[in-house]
Amino acid sequence: MQIDWFEFIPSFARLRLAVDWLLVIIALFIVPQNRKPSAGMAWLLVIFLFPWLGYLLFFIFGSSKLPDARRHAQDTLNEAIRRVSGQLGSGNRTAESASVAVPEYFESIARLNEALTGLPVVDGNGLEILSHYDESIRRLAEDIDQAQHFVHLEYYILVMDETSEPVFAALGRAAQRGITVRVMYDWLSTRTYKNYRTMLKRLKSQGVIVQAMLPFRLPGFGYVRPDLRNHRKLVVIDDHTGYIGSQNLVKRNYHRRDEIAYDELVVRLQGPVVLELSAVFVTDWYSETSVMLDPGGPGLAPPVPSYGNVRAQLLPSGPGYEDENNLKLFTSLVHAARREITIVNPYFVPDETLIMALTTAARRGVKVTVINSEAQDQWLVAHAQCSFYEGLLKAGVDIFLYPAPVLLHSKFLTVDDEMVTVGSSNLDLRSFYLNLEVTLVVYDEAVVKAFRQVEAQYLERCTQLRLEQWMTRPWRLVLLDNLARLTSELL
């Protein structure tokens, strides 16, 4: 007698099994669409193993793009960019001449950046590196005190404390003397600090216009995946002075309870490229308020005067764009390098294309150096980036670790002796696919030389990681590294 084992399964369990398999089959049609194969496989694995939980997580975190309404704001940015480009002046490089404004073998990089964002290479800029935490805050406060028309300030983390007080005081003074002051902050990251509401109350009472970026909204009311964040840090003052870099406006230890403190790097800019920085702020303001500001600023007559001879270009990136702008930039730079690449970044969880570019560059004789930190403030990221060290070391990449308890939070990349990028972007999947970032690209030998001096100061404090040392790690750490690497693909 043939036994039908299916009859022994209770009817409810049969229904549950059928629904689970239906969910799995539907996932095969939905999950891989417009997604990296590795990310698609990671999501499918979660849904296959835990269908109901997997679908819930996919509903919350499955889309790495902003809603259509917010992405349409990018069209408005393009209009703003066209106006900005028209204000750059006849003395600056425009779209037609951008390719001759940079070293010959970086012309394709300049064209790529402009094709992705519409922002051209411009010359006539001055640039100053600020690598001391308190000094950058002091200089910013001094520049705000000199503002004559407006101050636009945008930070991922904005905290009122004893370290940031000079900037908050300067913002208040500027607003009280009639200067238009607009401040933007990331809603999720900033509100975790205890004096968040007190800070907002103070700014508003002084006449500062304050706006949260990417606030939480329910589905149907402008829902945004909760881990899509605006990670940019920028300041624009009167469209001729700007700041960009890694530093948030907060105490150097971020009010942590452990011993970790942060070393940062900020660039102070003057010149036409600040108009490009202004266009990014204008876009973010429009995305949150539906109010389009004048990128040229009130009372300012273009063109912006020349402050030097530095050639620069801005590259905003994030889920509002169709492309992963910063990933394309960094990968192209590695492929273009002929002699030397140095990467300074706290979070290193690269895309497959970038890791392939780095190991290939090292094997073809390019000196590739990665400066990371012993101290880590994010457990999952720390283990994920460790999973890449073995392959990099075997390919000939030099890895240096900045000594704990200080975490090197600076974010820049130098290529040969002629090009450097600096900004808010990490070299991890979050910054490539989820965060709104902004990167400054500089084509100038003197600026690269100045960054090389900063690199040398970092390296003096670092310990080099050796392959033989790395291969002796306990197996439990290797397991944690590999598991963290798999979870990083769930984008």
- Residue 91 predicted with pLDDT over 70: no
- Residue 60 predicted with pLDDT over 90: no
Average pLDDT over residues 95-113: 69
The encoded tokens of residue 243 equal 């700041």
Average pLDDT over residues 70-76: 65
Cα(486)–Cα(16) distance, integer angstroms:
29
Whose tokens are 């994030």? That residue is 318
Q: What is the 3-state secondary structure (H, E, C) of 207-230?
A: CCEEEEECCCCCCCCCCCCCCCCE
Distances 480 to 261, 380, 399, 402, 462 between C-alpha atoms, Å: 25, 9, 20, 22, 25
Average pLDDT over residues 35-46: 67
pLDDT the model gives residue 83 = 61
pLDDT category of residue 103 using cuts at 50, 70 and 90: confident
The encoded tokens of residue 289 equal 């308020």
Higher pLDDT, 127 or 26: 127
Answer whether 151's CB lies under 8 Å from 181's CB. Answer: yes
pLDDT category of residue 95 using cuts at 50, 70 and 90: very low
Over the chain, what is the mean pLDDT? 86
Range list for CATH 3.30.870.10 in the chain: 68-107+122-313, 325-487
User: Comparing C-alpha atoms, which of 278, 218, 217 is closest to residue 243?
Assistant: 278
Locate all alpha helices (DSSP H) within 427-474, ordered by sequence.
429, 445-461, 467-470
Whose tokens are 């073995």? That residue is 390
Cα(19)–Cα(13) distance, integer angstroms:
10
Cα(129)–Cα(269) distance, integer angstroms:
9
Cα(346)–Cα(375) distance, integer angstroms:
9
Please confirm whether the linkage preceding 303 is cis (ω < 30° from 0).
Answer: yes
Answer whether 380's CB lies under 8 Å from 487's CB. Answer: yes
The encoded tokens of residue 321 equal 């764009």
Tell me which amino acid residue 64 is: S
pLDDT tens sequence across 142-189: 999 999 999 999 999 999 999 999 999 999 999 999 999 999 999 999
pLDDT the model gives residue 463 = 97
Instruction: Provide the β-strand partners of residue 125.
Output: 310
Average pLDDT over residues 190-204: 95
Cα(283)–Cα(77) distance, integer angstroms:
5
The encoded tokens of residue 402 equal 């900045």
Using alpha carbons only, what angle is made at residue 171 by residues 422 and 294, rounded to the nearest 5 degrees? 70
pLDDT tens sequence across 456-468: 999 999 999 999 9
Answer whether 151's CB lies under 8 Å from 141's CB. Answer: no
Instruction: Provide the β-strand partners of residue 314.
Output: 440
First to last CA, the chain: 51
pLDDT the model gives residue 97 = 37
pLDDT tens sequence across 422-476: 999 999 988 998 899 999 999 999 999 999 999 999 999 999 999 999 999 999 9
pLDDT the model gives residue 81 = 65
Interstrand relation of 412-415 and 261-263 (parallel, antiparallel or unpaired): unpaired
Higher pLDDT, 37 or 341: 341
The encoded tokens of residue 326 equal 């910063």
Which H or E run includes 423?
A: strand 419-423
- Residue 10 predicted with pLDDT over 70: no
- Residue 96 predicted with pLDDT over 90: no
Using alpha carbons only, what angle is made at residue 163 by residues 157 and 166, rounded to the nearest 5 degrees? 100
Average pLDDT over residues 95-122: 75
User: Comparing C-alpha atoms, which of 324, 385, 321 is closest to residue 353?
Assistant: 324
Q: Which of 30-39, 68-77, 296-305, 350-359 has the lowest mean pLDDT?
A: 296-305
Top-tier CATH class for 68-107+122-313: alpha beta
pLDDT category of residue 298 using cuts at 50, 70 and 90: very low
Cα(325)–Cα(432) distance, integer angstroms:
8
Cα(142)–Cα(419) distance, integer angstroms:
29
User: Comparing C-alpha atoms, which of 343, 319, 316, 281 is closest to residue 429?
Assistant: 319
Q: Residue 433 gets which letter from DSSP?
A: I
Average pLDDT over residues 401-416: 97
Cα(54)–Cα(47) distance, integer angstroms:
4
- Mark 286-304 as b/e (b = at least 16 C-beta within 10 Å): bbbeeeebebbbeebebbb
246 Cβ neighbours under 8 A, 6+ residues apart: 233, 264, 265, 266, 409, 410, 411, 423, 424
Domain 325-487 sits in CATH at: 3.30.870.10
- Sign of the CA dihedral running 39, 40, 41, 44: positive
